[in-house]
Each structure stands twice: as structure tokens, then as C-alpha cells.
């Protein structure tokens, strides 16, 4: 075999090995470190979404709307943009809850809301509006709670407190501390 033939054959073999190596690199899964970094990204997202949940008897329990949902597989949680939740009291009284941001844990066991949280209890007799910085909703317990300051505006005045638990199904609230009440006389009774 001549030297030129040997060099040509060696070059072809080297080229085939290089092509084979490159092909293998492209089809081999990334190392575990790289995969973990990639899976920290959302695995799906939904825009302008809505969902409802009913109880065992078929009665509407809550409605959930959002501008954007992004689900993250590591930690199994969902970030929510512009969440809007409506919880229903047994008598059908709706409690509307909205915020700019939120996070729902796996299976919507609890929903944390923050940034301009507004709660409206829409009853003809005694409507209320509550404002706070953060709120945790536990739909299966019909509970909404915060440890932050809350301002409650009603027909006859305002209440300020630190911390609140709202028992949706019982249509009642528990204020936890630093409660201050400003009562305004009803102008219709003067």
C-alpha cells in the first residue's frame, strides 16, 4: 500500500469517526445537571384560562380565572398572572377575590395571592370590600386567610386589623390583632 493510499484511507476513517462522534453527541441525552436546569423552566402554560370545581352533590364550589398560568414541574406549582377566584357560600353568596399575582400548589390545595389583593363579599344586606397585600385561599376548607394588615370597608364604616381568617362557608371573619373600627352612623336613620 502506498503512502498516499494509506494517508487517504486514514483520513477517510478519521472523518467517519468524527461524523459518528458528532452524531452520537447530538442524540445522547444531556448530563443530569443540564437536564435539571432545563426542567426548572415551565413545562406548559395557559393564557386566558378558566376552571370550575363542584362538590360531590354537583353544587358549584369555586370558579378560577387567570390571564396566564405557568406550571413548573420541579416543586409542582403554578405561577398565576391576574388570578380571579370566586368562592361560593352554601347559600350561593359569592366571594370575589382578585390579585395581580398568585401561586397555586399541586392540585390547588392552596392558592397564595399577592400584590393588590381585593376581596368582595357580595350580599344584598351587608356587602364588604377587603384589601390586603397577601392572601392564602384553601378551597377545600372554604378558608381565606392573611397575616398582613387588612382594611375592611362596609356600609357603616371601616375596620383595620392585622391578620384575618375568612370562613367562606360560614360567611364570617375572624380578625386576629390590632383591630381598629371607624363606625359611621347610618344616614338613613337620622
Residues 37-96 pLDDT 10s: 445 788 888 899 888 888 888 888 888 899 998 988 888 888 999 999 888 877 777 889
Q: What is the pLDDT of residues 169-190, one digit of tens each?
A: 787 889 999 999 887 776 655 4
CB atoms within 10 A of CB 77: 15
Does 80 share its domain with 8?
no
Does 20 share its domain with 60?
no
Q: What's the predicted TM-score (pTM) here?
A: 0.70
Q: What is the pLDDT of residue 187?
A: 60
Does 57 share its domain with 19?
no
- Beta strands 143-154 and 128-138: pairing type? antiparallel
| CB neighbour list of residue 164: distance below 8 Å, 6 or more residues apart | 130, 132, 145, 146, 150, 173, 174, 175, 176
Q: How far is CA 9 from CA 17, 21, 33, 51, 151, in A?
A: 12, 18, 39, 66, 84
- Beta strands 60-72 and 157-167: pairing type? unpaired
Does 71 share its domain with 131?
yes
- 16, pLDDT greater than 60: no
Question: What is the span of the domain harbouring residue 43?
Answer: 38-189
Number of domains, the chain: 2
35 confidence band (pLDDT: 50, 70, 90): very low
Amino acid at each position: 500500500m502506498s503512502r498516499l493510499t494509506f494517508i487517504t484511507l486514514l483520513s477517510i476513517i478519521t472523518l467517519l469517526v468524527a461524523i459518528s462522534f458528532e452524531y452520537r453527541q447530538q442524540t445522547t441525552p444531556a448530563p443530569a445537571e443540564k437536564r435539571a436546569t432545563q426542567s426548572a423552566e415551565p413545562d406548559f402554560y395557559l393564557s386566558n384560562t378558566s376552571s370550575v370545581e363542584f362538590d360531590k352533590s354537583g353544587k358549584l364550589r369555586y370558579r378560577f380565572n387567570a390571564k396566564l398560568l405557568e406550571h413548573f414541574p420541579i416543586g409542582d406549582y403554578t405561577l398565576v398572572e391576574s388570578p380571579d377566584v370566586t368562592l361560593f357560600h352554601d347559600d350561593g353568596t359569592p366571594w370575589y377575590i382578585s390579585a395581580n399575582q398568585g401561586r397555586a400548589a399541586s392540585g390547588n390545595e392552596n392558592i397564595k395571592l399577592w400584590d393588590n389583593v381585593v376581596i368582595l363579599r357580595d350580599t344584598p344586606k351587608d356587602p364588604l370590600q377587603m384589601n390586603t397585600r397577601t392572601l392564602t385561599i384553601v378551597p377545600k376548607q372554604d378558608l381565606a386567610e392573611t397575616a398582613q394588615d387588612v382594611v375592611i370597608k362596609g356600609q357603616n364604616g371601616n375596620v383595620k386589623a392585622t391578620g384575618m381568617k375568612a370562613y367562606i362557608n360560614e360567611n364570617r371573619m375572624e380578625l386576629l390583632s390590632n383591630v381598629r373600627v371607624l363606625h359611621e352612623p347610618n344616614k338613613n336613620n337620622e
